[in-house]
Amino acid sequence: MRQHLAWTLAAAAALAAAPTAAAPDHNCPRLTATWYGANRAHLQQVIDARGTCSGHEGAVAAFDWDNTVTKNDVTDATLSWALRHDELLRPARWKDTSAWLTDAADRALTAACGTGAGAPLRTSAEPRCTDEIVEIRENGTTMSGAAAFAGRWDHRRTVPQYAWVPQLFAGRTPAELASYARAARREALAAPVGATRTLGTHTVPAYVRSYDQQRDLIRTLQRAGFRVYVVSAGAEPVTEVWSGAVGVDAAHTLAIRPVLDGRGRITVRNEGCGGVPATRGAVIPYIDGKRCWINQEIYGVQGAAAWKKQPWQRRPALAAGDADTDVTFVGDATGAHLVINRNKPELMCRAYDDADGHWLVNPMFLAPLPRRPQPYPCATAAYTAPDGTHGPLRRTDGSVVPDRADTVY
């Protein structure tokens, strides 16, 4: 009842705020796909209240990509394809690929993959090399269990193993990387749902699917005059290939954007945000970084202010995500915080706490996870601090969010 009342009041307030607003009618763009519970009705309320049917146009909707719009990770699918087709180039030194790569990881990669700048890695025939790369990407450790990354970084602005994937494509051009993504996309869409493959000794998903519900939501939002963006912690040339297929063009796709050298080739550096210059991955669209990129690239907020929560008019009306990397920008939304439940603690604590009555939780559309048997540790360990430590999650008034049970699965 509290959530329903909050939505009704929010919709009414949005309508009253616009002098030229017209009452929605049956010709307004309508969602058609099936959603969990009352989620479709709540999403439709936002579309009706903030779109052209109410005399508005230009509201922003922002979506994470991997496991929010698609099932499975498209940057990982592209890396998988590249490893199986020898498209990565060997660096002069593996330590050069990341500011935080450890000596142990450098030794492991050198032993398994060799050195010698510019030569293609023969990963299709060298499973040890593939294993080391996949293990570092997936778990941040070498195959022997040693930490692959060490040092200091802001854990709400980056994670080295996410930044490392675009860095692995150093020496290639964005066009080449996009061509690998197109080949990987054809392969992943052709694979049956549930298919896996082996990379070295790792078993990884072989298929990707775009969710019908999200495609319908994106299309309906666009028809209602919303500006729809994708904001991802994947490689931008890869994400653009996939987002374009659901009608979101490159200009509306924000992801890790590599800095190019004088010949137009990808380097190990990526563009910065919020006054932070280009670095080897110190800031990427990750947790608070996603807010920064939205503020900077969509709303034109420059400098350190881009890291801050903006006034109501400079925040998305709707935002969607599935993981803790999305919690900040999803929480910034003013009309609907759409969460795909993948059991990620900080995001799910926010969603189930539902502080403003606008949080919508939906099970995964394909192969949803079972119910988490234990409550989320909101009161003790759900929040990730910039130094990487975990502590209690707090509301804006400073009160601690109590542990929450998993109820939508």
In this predicted structure, what is the pLDDT of residue 146? 98
Residue 268 DSSP class: E
Q: Assign 24 a pLDDT band (cuts: 50, 70, 90).
A: very low
Of 27-31, 64-68, 233-237, 352-356, the least confident: 27-31
Q: How many CB atoms lie within 10 A of CB 202?
A: 19
Residue 135 · residue 164 · CB < 8 Å: no
CA distance linking residue 184 with residue 70, whole number of Å: 14
Residue 4 has pLDDT above 50, yes or no: no
In this predicted structure, what is the pLDDT of residue 119? 92
The residues pairing with 362 across neighbouring beta strands, listed in sequence order, are 340
What pTM does this model have?
Answer: 0.93
- Sequence length of the chain is 409
Of 6-15, 184-193, 398-407, the least confident: 6-15
- Average model confidence (pLDDT) for the chain? 94
Q: How many CB atoms lie within 10 A of CB 312?
A: 8
Average pLDDT, integer, range 270-296: 98
What's the token pair of residue 382? 């759900």
Ranked by mean pLDDT, which of 1-5, 112-116, 339-343 comes out on top? 339-343
Residue 85 has pLDDT above 60, yes or no: yes
Report the phi/psi class of residue 300: left, alpha or beta, with left for phi > 0 and alpha for psi in -120 to 50: left
Q: Assign 115 a pLDDT band (cuts: 50, 70, 90).
A: confident
Residue 221 has pLDDT above 60, yes or no: yes
In this predicted structure, what is the pLDDT of residue 15? 37
Q: Which are the contacts of 43, defined by CB distance < 8 A and separation ≥ 6?
A: 31, 35, 217, 318, 336, 338, 360
Residue 137 · residue 165 · CB < 8 Å: yes
CA distance linking residue 219 with residue 44, whole number of Å: 13
Please give the share of the chain, as a percent, with pLDDT higher than 70.
94
The residues pairing with 66 across neighbouring beta strands, listed in sequence order, are 70
In this predicted structure, what is the pLDDT of residue 117? 85
| Cα dihedral: 219, 216, 256, 134 (round 10) | -160
In this predicted structure, what is the pLDDT of residue 25? 56
Residue 402 · residue 378 · CB < 8 Å: yes
Superfamily of domain 2-71+211-259+285-391: HAD superfamily/HAD-like (3.40.50.1000)
CA distance linking residue 236 with residue 344, whole number of Å: 24
**Extents of the domains making up the chain:** 2-71+211-259+285-391, 74-205
Residue 379 has pLDDT above 80, yes or no: yes
Residue 400 has pLDDT above 90, yes or no: yes
The per-residue pLDDT for range 291-330, each reduced to its tens digit, is 999 999 999 999 999 999 999 999 999 999 999 999 999 9
Residue 7 has pLDDT above 50, yes or no: no
| Residue 188 exposed, middle or buried by CB count within 10 Å (0-12, 13-18, 19+) | buried
Residue 48 has pLDDT above 70, yes or no: yes
